[in-house]
Structure 1
């Protein structure tokens, strides 16, 4: 009878409007289904919308780090800082989107309006990437405004779209609803997979305004976001549109604030002891609300260590991309862009999800191992830490070809002997160049020159064919030089020229020409790139070229001839001397000043395998766990808390990038150690965490209310399981 009475009272409440309606039932017609299934047809529009939106977001984000470096000309630390500031903002704004949807517009209108903001942000970002639109200040301003609007758009709709898809299902179709979330996650990764491969190709292979076409590469994601909006609006007539339910998040905050304030106010008073600190809100708020907030705060407390995982995970688009730019990306003629390596993550996710769900997890269960959600998430943390340990090893090997920067009161110098015989170079007070230097010998490495101050005038004694010539050159600290020794019209001379101190960006090669002929030359590279070099050992400026084999045309006043430069490799710096041979032919002698990238980009595969496996165990499990541990009215609150862990993870990267000032490999090791330490803390917290079935608790609370108050109530404990 008690149950029957409760059912009647519930029905009466719904009729009188005491409870908010679950959907817009004004027409009272059932939603259309996909053929032969219990899946509403409306979810097809939602899934396609999510695919296009994720294509838009990840396609744009894949380019950001290199855009900051190469278009806005920021350094690596600033580029990393802005990248993670943007990523963090994208996960702070879901709280704002949830508030708008719950208190004002509802999910459907929130998605529409914020998607329009999203599109505007993309358009502004694309315009800001056009070189002819204003100066550097305009480019930075438009880029930052565009990113701010994109962060508001993508973050604002993030908590709405998945929940809106779940709203389309009837209560009796819970199995189909769970499968929808799997399809939804696959759509996210499919969009990410395609976009992170396509947009770097559009940027690097299509040329516009005389360089990489960032405007087009950002414009395509903008177009996909327009398609996402159009597709979503097209399904409008089929959607169940749940009206706003009120500001649950605000009510939670107010309840917590009242409990704390009430406890402090009565701290010194003789008051009966209460079981939980939130019980101090019972004077104003219902017991059901307090119990639900207790459940949420227990899970939120368990979330405290989680941002460290995201601090590592989100560096795929920043530090790992920068690492890829210092590696050899040639796959037998197919050359990868550094930012294209991010395609591995969504690709591996699409592979790992079925492998784990239908292979690994059932196998572990067959071995009678209780692989709880907490243990899965802890394992995901360990895998992410191992990924960064692998990244540190790769970084150490990749840095072997980098010229270390000279410190204070230091400079690097090499000798290029362009005379026709060996020379002996002596610098008084310096222990350098012990062996004679042969003609046209390619120096193996630079030598370190120690200065007395910020600059110093050095004497160079050159012993050539039995005679000694002395030259004086001024050297600046923290600089890299080549001493050019040449013989013109029987007279020995020397020139000190500045060299590149760092590898060329984007995996390009750098080349400069020295003209040892007695007449000026014009060198044609490609169709229209002409480099003019004066006669008698003049030196041209560096030219940046894509990796490849080059055969260039060289013109003098008297003749035209071709020069085979051979392979100009990733990240290398070359000096090419144009000179006559003994047979009176012109040839090019190539010297490698900065070594080419010799570590193949495929060595990043292990770290991507580990981080992607870690994501499947950590992210998908954590999302499902947070959803299962929240009562129905608090699921949006807990989902917002889950998304905030991602935001705070990016904040951690900002702090470390600005404060640590470590070499990149050491920073990777630091992050790995921090995550291992956090994993231990999380595992201890998880050991003492007891799961609660929110639905069971709700039923028991309802039964308590219906029981007669005769002083002999039976207290029913919720069903709990220790993890």
Structure 2
């Protein structure tokens, strides 16, 4: 398998090269040969290209790793809109390579295209970083700057995508094909190294470094911007050593023009008495050569096989959106080392680097030894199945994660719990409701929330409270779609109550939330976190919620002239706590902790199986698909198939944003839906692949094509090169 075949879906190692996949040799012969790396046939110029690619990939994947959480926590969009915008950006990054190829091959050439679009790329990063500074303008300004920056980044990264690798290949002499092949392997390693390091580092810059009073998104975007500047500087530094080929026209444009002419000509002559032609593309024969038409026929057969492929990418690219959001609701503590939820994305490039040699030198040879014909179509279908299983695993994890979340009340519905701070057991009855049948013990952790039904948007309820020797009645107003705690306590020997609003959803970003109830008869000041002082009024006053990083906390509580240290214990990931400050029998005070919303008890390591499955699926699907499509096209049409391959990634992202907006489902159900869709598409793809006849385009002569091409456009009798896949 050559280096062209070892690429992954996120990158292409091909340019849209017209009329042959190598530049004209004459373009090189008249130029001075570039200097070589010590004692080798490798041009020194490729070192600049490899470093450029590493920095550019660090820049792209580093920015993208924190993008979903930026939408969610900085711009305050909901999960569906955040997912939609993430995949809209990803899709745009895979539509723009077509524009980059047109610019490079018809106007500027690869070198100038890389330079100019890299400048656009840098400007986009700078705008994106500035838009992440909280003090720059209002929310509208932040959104405008973010969208403008992302649009420029998409045009920059997509525009140079089809140029950089091929420009590196251009640096080698024709007699050094072996070295050129190894260069592409090194190039691919640079891609994955940049992706691996950046997806681990930038979440740390976002979450562990604090600026402007919160997560430092400006730094998390600023470092990738600096790496892109370095990429541009390094690339320009090697300018004097590069071999630069002039633009020669774009075969992709010619293919589109040929297809458009065939369609127009067919429609124009539909009513005329003209002999039927064997294939609809034959209607272009008045203007285009027979060879070009036959080559396009071969390509369209493969492009037809590409139709089901976007569904794989619809699942694959959700690692940076839905799976990252899932990780925010999980326990990320690895024995004292806490992972950021967006850091889990680094697992994919790490596994890819591990799986490629295992598959190439272990799994595939073992399968061949078993005499099983593991064809490219079967490998790709297996990759689809593995990706579907990954989403089935993600759905199971999601169900377990949801066990610790608060149910969302619907209209005419609220949730309520009772916190008994009296010294005796109490009985609570709500008129018109069948709740709290059992007595509630003193300072007993409340049971789970109970559902309270309303007859409108709000309703006044009568609460009857009873304890030994005391009966009281209170009226409280309840709003629909809200969550409450009924605080019951003794006041002058009688029962009394407050109805307080609780946190309705888990704290964002895996933080914990805490509030204080002061059961003392004097005001208190509580110092928590980084010198944060919370004032709580006496006689069961309630503070607002404060969000904190997960950890064990001791707080200083000052009541009048006395100061006490209170241990809160562990405030865990995603939990919401009520801390009751009360007296003890020994004239001191203590903190009693109530967990209102359960902590994230599903460990983030449970995401590893889904990452393993989808990474194995990527190796089988993506690398095999690239090699297969490259092998099935004539030399002059390989660029067209690479354009088609990139567009399958773009359309896959379009599928996700459509589902996210058009069919809002519970997250586990959405995962199951995507898995089922991919399994169904896998069956369709397998059937299409069964009837696909593989050919070796290099062995086809123009005369053979004329003889062997039937009316349906399929090559059917060119053995021994053809096999059924």
> What TM-score do you get using the length of structure 2 for normalisation?
0.93
Does 2:105 align with 1:102? yes
Partner of 2:483: 480
Q: Equivalents in 2 of 1:38, 1:278: separation in Å?
A: 45
In the alignment, what sits opposite 1:392?
Answer: 395
Hey, what's the Cα distance between the residues in 1 that align with 2:724 and 2:67?
Answer: 44
Q: CA deviation at 1:699?
A: 7.9
CA contact (8 A) 1:23 1:241 kept: no
Query: Which runs of structure 2 are paired with 1:462-501 in the superposition (5 Å)?
Result: 462-501=465-504
**Which position in structure 2 is the counterpart of 1:248?**
251
**In 1: Cα distance, 2:345 partner to 2:573 partner:** 19
- Measured in 1, the distance between the counterparts of 2:60 and 2:665 equals 31
The CA distance in 1 between the partners of 2:41 and 2:267, in whole Å, is 53
Cα distance change on mapping 1:687 and 1:129 into 2, 3 Å = same
List aligned pairs for 1:267-416, cutoff 5 A: 267-416=270-419
Structure 2: tracts of 5 or more residues without a match: 1-21, 708-716
The answer to whether the aligner puts 1:554 opposite 2:557 as a matched pair is yes
DSSP-derived class of the 1:680 partner: helix
Q: 1:644 to 1:671 in 2, by over 3 A?
A: same
Q: Secondary structure at the match of 2:475?
A: strand
2:589 to 579, 586, 589: 586
| Pairwise CA distance, 1:137 | 0.7
Could you tell which deviates more after superposition, 239-248 or 415-424? 239-248
Please tell me the root mean square deviation across aligned C-alpha atoms, in Å: 1.9
Distance 2:605 2:49 in 1: 36
1:186 equivalent to 2:186? Answer no
* Aligned mates of 1:441, 1:537 — CA distance in 2: 17
User: Which moves more between the two structures, 421-430 or 56-65?
Assistant: 421-430
Of 570, 575, 578, the residue aligned with 1:572 is 575
Q: Relative to structure 2, which stretch is displaced further, 150-159 or 165-174?
A: 165-174
From 199, 202, 205, give the equivalent of 2:202. Answer: 199
Distance 1:716 1:682 in 2: 24
CA contact (8 A) 1:101 1:110 kept: yes
1:622 aligns with 2:617: no
Contact 2:529/2:548 (CA < 8 Å) preserved in 1?
A: no
Change (3 A) 1:590 1:385: same
3-state secondary structure, aligned to 1:530 = strand
On the 8 A contact 1:98/1:636 being kept in 2, the answer is no
**Residue of 230, 233, 237 corresponding to 2:233:** 230
The CA deviation at 1:267 is 2.6
SS of alignment partner, residue 25 of structure 1: helix
CA–CA distance in structure 2, aligned partners of residues 237 and 292 of structure 1: 38
Contact 1:329–1:336 (8 Å) recurs in 2: yes
Find out whether 1:52 has 2:43 as its counterpart: no
1:511 aligned onto 2:514:
yes
> Bigger CA drift: 569-578 or 429-438?
429-438
* Structure 1: gaps (5+ residues): 1-18, 706-714
- SS of 1:33's equivalent in the other structure is coil
CA distance in 1, matches of 2:412, 2:565: 43
- Superposed displacement of residue 30, structure 1: 3.0
Is the Cα–Cα contact under 8 Å of residues 520 and 540 in structure 2 kept in the other structure? yes
Contact 1:553/1:563 (8 A) holds in 2 = yes
CA deviations on 1:125-162 (whole Å, 9 max, x unpaired) are 11111111111111111111110100000010111112
Shift in Å, 1:373: 1.3
**C-alpha spacing 1:41/1:698, structure 2 compared with 1 (3 Å):** farther
1:22 CA displacement: 4.6
From 117, 122, 126, the equivalent of 1:119 is: 122
Q: How many residues align?
A: 695
Shift of 1:698: 5.4
Shift of 1:527: 3.4
Rounded to whole Å, the distance in 2 between the matches of 1:22 and 1:243 is 12
2:173 paired with 1:165: no
- Whether 2:652 is the aligned partner of 1:649: answer yes
**Deviations, residues 304-333 of structure 1 (Å, cap 9, x unaligned):** 100000000000000000100111100010
Aligned partners of 1:716, 1:593: CA distance in 2, in Å? 71
- 1:688 maps onto 2:691 in alignment: yes
Q: Distance in 2 between matches of 1:291 and 1:670?
A: 40
